[in-house]
Structure 1
Amino acid sequence: MATLRLLHPTGATTDVALNDVGACTRPTAPLRSRVAYAAAHVVPKVHADNTPGQPADIDWDATLAFRRNVFSWGLGVADAMDTAQRNMGLDAAATRELIARSAEVAREEGGSVVVGVNTDHIAESEISLDQVITAYTEQLHFAEEHGAGPVLMASRHLARAATDAADYRRVYREVLSRATTPVVLHWLGTAFDPALAGYFGADGWQEASEVLLQIIAENPGKIAGVKMSLLNAESEISVRARLPEGVRMFTGDDFNYVRLIGGTAEGMTPGDDMHSDALLGAFAAITPVASAAIQALDAGDQEEYLRILGPTEALSRQVFAAPTFYYKTGVAFLAWLNGHQPAFQMVGGLHSARSLPHLSRIVELANTSLALEQPDLAQQRWHRMLRVNGVDA
């Protein structure tokens, strides 16, 4: 029987049985019951100077092949988001090229792609509200020109420049007035980016959500959906219930996505129409399993959905454990284990952001939730990594 060696924080090792690959099959028709995007990462060239502070040198073959794989499972791709290391190593030039290339691949594969729109190409840390509007608009038009759906990301520049809720309403109103296609608004919590504290003009989610809902109400026809990444199911359920018709809730809650997508949150019954769609970094790590779960929902089988997707939430909670902004390391690690990139390397040296015991727990939970796409390959790669680091495996 094949086994996996696990490394504990004490330095002790144990062995567990290596599970077979899960019985996931690619869909033969478009997924119907949920709109789901996997927020994809980038793969650097192995021989590049992938050290802190260096510009991103992307392995485009591996990076785009990853997106083609996501499309093959019926999911859309959310690109140039924080998962792709924006504000953590992916520079402005690489971001623009990523958007252009990813949009082209989406057209070739017949897939859906949305991309992040931000103000992060501006080098200055502090700019005026008018400059924030201009910066947002520049990136918005670039995304639209390439045929990608815009996701209006939370801006560090705006968080610094805004003095109250009125400033947020003004900036979003001005930017949305320039949009030629409906956009998705992205509310990213401080667990992901501490620089976004007080976004929408309030520290508490209850007050901030009022401002978000005002922005949606003041800009009819301009907003396709909202992506909430607060890691707080209560806040998402509250906002979701108040969204106007035609505005989707895209969960970005990598801790609670199973019930939010399934429509089985507290106070609701299985099959309830009040559910979230998905725009998740977790789905980039578990793409075949996520696809299989949504296929189960398409077939009206809520129990099968829970059986398939339920075990992955513990894995996602480990990947996104505090400090949450280093979750990208776990996403890239799983991509390497699953054969989607040649080496465990990340832009800016971020592959060193998690400890070996942390990664070992990811291996253990990926094995338990059947998220290892090629178990034998994953075992070989993980055991070699342990040996390189002086652990007998």
Structure 2
Amino acid sequence: MNSDQLDGISAIRTYVDRLVTGDGRCNGMKVLLLDGATTQILSCVSTQSEILSREVYLVSRLDDPRCNPNLKEHSSNNNSINNENGGDSSNDNGGIHSLALQEEAHVGHMKAVVFLRPTDNNIGLLVRELSRPRFSEYHIYFSGILPPNLFQLLCENDPQDRVKQVQEFYADFLPINPDLVSLNCRNTLQMTSALYKRNILGLQSMLLANKRQPGTIRYQKSSRLAKQLAQDISANIKSDDIFHFRRGTGGGGGGTNNNNNNNLLLLVVDRMDDPVTPLLSQWTYQAMVHELLGLNNNRVILRGVPNVSKDLEEVVLSSAPGHDAFFQSHRNSNFGELGEAIQKLLQDYQARSQQHQVSNLKSIEDMQSFMERYPELRSESHTVSKHV
């Protein structure tokens, strides 16, 4: 992909790579503490095994009383906390594993990497956590711009000096495809103040994650809300120096990058005035799955569907590198192209499986080769079952 194109997946993966090492300052085994929204963000670009292979002992929810003993007496407030963090009051962990609560009784010597949205409730959770710290160090990262008053509150409530660093990683959106991101907001026909603020913060995060300042901001003239959003974004960019990293001849590198940055157009439209799009049906793989089966946070839930095996009750269709090479290559293929690609995938798998049949094992070397290739063959079998 051209380096001047926006890529939400690469931007988030870069942050994740820095996150799991504490930006180079948190080496050794560690615990990763998330909230409902950041759990979904990480699960869109990283698998459970990828996270745990980076010296992460466990991944836990800071806002879940089942994982946080400091919240056991506050479990009745859990729904309101989840609503502010991600607009979803469910306890879905987004595909990232959380170990049992009793595990945390044995990790007091470990360091904690904390990744949260910069909300009032999350700061309250951190203050409560630091008043009864469970870990030796806390490396705190927020997914957006942290208001000064919340930063001051955090600084004033670290009595044991456990916080070693606080940074902003601008990853406050869900990367679906490299060129498609979402804020995962629901029920947006009635734009409340909380939803409007979520759209502002999410849009700012997209620009900062890609290190871009739009040269032009346009909006739909007939929409009062689109006009207000465009004006607020423009005012925030002008008033905060953090957006000026590639402005003019300042810190943006060569002239080519600056020219491309100045040509960036931010277009704000109101879906209330778009009656056509809901009537369209794309005959491409990702679009058909989304319309016919439902695709939410890169996941298709098939639980309860007749004749579906247990390991296919929840299917992950992700465009992130290393997740599903077949889907990444064919998500935009039309129905005919997809049929041919699946047929070839099945034929290749059948040929490979015949080569590795047990009846062909005639020596110790054959058995050793079979065992070495078995995990890859099993993974390929799962891929074939998922797409066929």
TM > 0.5 fold call: no
The structure whose Rg is larger is 2
**More relative contact order, 1 or 2 (CA 8 Å, 6+ apart):** 1
Normalised by the size of structure 1, how large is the TM-score? 0.34
